[in-house]
Structure 1
Amino acid sequence: MSSPFASSSSSQPASSPPPAGRDTAAFIASAEAHSAHNYHPLPIVVASADGAWMTDVEGRRYLDMLAGYSALNFGHGNRRLIEAAKAQLERVTLTSRAFHHDRFAEFCTRLAELCGKDMVLPMNTGAEAVETAVKTARKWGYEVKGVPDGRARIIVASDNFHGRTTTIVSFSTDEEARAGFGPYTPGFDIVPYGDLAALRDAVTDDTVAVLLEPVQGEAGVLVPPAGYLAGVRELTRERNVLFMADEIQSGLGRTGRTFACEHEGVVPDVYVLGKALGGGVVPVSAVVADADVLGVFKPGEHGSTFGGNPLACAVGLEVIAMLATGEFQARATELGEHLHAELGLLAGSGAVTEVRGRGLWAGVDIAPAYGTGREVSEKLMDRGVLVKDTHGATIRIAPPLVIGKDDLDWALDQLRAVLS
């Protein structure tokens, strides 16, 4: 078998004649006319992708340095994942949870083992998994901890991003995501991210959980102060509160460990997983915890028609098998060290004001004189490199873990050229 990390490209974008009738402007105009304007994508229309590279409708090639916000940790069109999906497509794709199917038990068992937990509650999207975690914490609080009915509270961090449902945006501090969608769901307390003292002060007898991202992705790849996650773990144990780690973006290899919590030797009570769990093939998410937590659910109290479907389980099983080797985590560590060393040199040049991140994941704050994050993203796109901006001045870098070192260096060369 060939290496999963073999590059499928040279380290520069090649071009081919545009296929007849494949016009970028026409595609974008049609999308703008007929879809809700809830995104502001870069002006590129992707037609195909392989590994870390994507090709647009006019035949131009681009190096993907975003990886679907970590949903594509294993690259576009990963053959192991595609073959697993194709084999399952020929057998059965959906039964609903009204019946058992032959991939479900193995998926739950293997994912529980990967997390070191007892039980799995499969869902589809990351937001569904977060909603499920919220319901889990509240029910656990009432039935196990003994919080009076209707009084359960969950502590979250400022600048969080856990999804976009009405409940989730109720505890967002991002007004762009929150404003105009009230009335808001009560029961959440917001404290500054990384501030252990503020968290300690916020815990009451009615607190049932602390929900945190071990690394805040949408906020600009913010890594908490050393010892913070370990302190959260100690505090939540002391006060009989669940520690729920949203590892939807940070988990499954991105930071150089299977879970970002591992960098501080922390095991939360609840893992919230998504994105890479579906390998970029199908949406797969899950809440994973021990039986004394997930065991609070009884038939009819929570569910999903598509959650844990045969196709999702087949792909998820292959993802788990790939992670079990440790090679992707090692790859993210090795290339991540190189990425951060090179970005650190840029920070010293004055073009970049700060670089944050862990593993093959970085938030790069652009100095105002060199443009906004959007402007830098567009200039990189013109050079064949795809990143995405956030919060005005920041670009996020998170390539598929299968990217070749030469390709990564080529992308860094393009960033240097844009900022020169």
Structure 2
Amino acid sequence: MKTLNSSLHPVILFQTIISLLVEFIFIFPTANRQFKTLNLFNISLSIVLLIALVLAILSKRLHFLSWSNTVVIIIFPAFNLFLIPIFFRTMNGFLKLGIFSELVFILSLFLINIPLFKLELDTLETPVIRFLFIFVFYTAARYSPLYYPTYLPKILNQFLDTYFWFSIFMLFSWVLIFNAWSNTWKFNIKVLPNNNYQIWAVIILVFYMIWFSFFDQFINLGTSWSEIFGSWSYPISQLHFSWYNLMYALFTGILEESFRWANLQILLPYFQNKFLPILGPILISAFFFGIYHYTLSYTLNLNSILYVIDAFVMGLVLAGIYLYTGKLYITILFHAAIDLVGFNLGSLVNYNLGLLDYPQQLVLIILINMIFFIFLFTGKRRKGIAINVSKLIKKSNLT
């Protein structure tokens, strides 16, 4: 294993220089005319990476600058998640390469970060730096200007537009990242039958996930308390199911729940001998889940604040479900089910139609989720969570 004082591998130096040249030659000249909402983030990453690269080169002689190597390692994969899509959008706008361009784009995205993951990622040794890396990488992935061309057959274009393939890319990336850190990556914790797993608790859990997937979306249509909690006054057939919505719901479920898995893999071992060893990581994970959902509103008012709190508490529930069941796919399916019902509602959604206005709906959802989280985090359920966390930590090299 290299140390943080080591210089960057020549392959990474060369790759970073080439990427920056592509950015300044092909992207900057069109930056004022295209992708205006992405310019600030893209250009900021470019400038930070350029400065860090120069300092990293100088650090071969000036060892006090060795920290710049870490900055390059953290920024470069995130930078690529902007460079690759914008570059292919720009080139395809001129050349109209269609399916060939799309295939090369996806392949490039999968391959470009592999050298850094294999050659440099193990130099990020502290949990704080590793958490910073996955935070920056996920943030760039979440806001990456994913490229989808207009020169493909409609069905193929719609499939690519769901970004389901990108969720597979993120799973692929997490595997490489945690393998580089010598972590025994497993998306599921092996759960053996024991007294801490109660059949009735599992039944309640399954019922809650099914019921809440509909309640979370139908609450705005209820004109009475009975309709709010389950006596919905219109047929489920009005949900207008589509494969596009299913794929997009799976994309959001996999993207967000795999990040939750990733940050818990780092936070739980780090907190094992600290205050709130289990609840602390869950709270931090839920905090980021809430903050990321604030960016969906871009406003600061009562509704957006309640929406962030709603997402935060939902993050507590999802983390609790994962740690209790030990199965990441369960939280992915739960998350995807909530989104799928919402996507399929379409024109039925009217937040001013029912008994409760939008802020009241959010407060009720927050209270119900909070009650369910407390249920998960008490009694034998808490002991079951503690057992699963100990298994996860034993398999980890991230302490």
Q: TM-score, normalised by structure 1?
A: 0.23
With the length of structure 2 as denominator, give the TM-score of the two structures: 0.24
Bigger share in helix: 2
Structure showing the higher strand proportion among its residues: 1
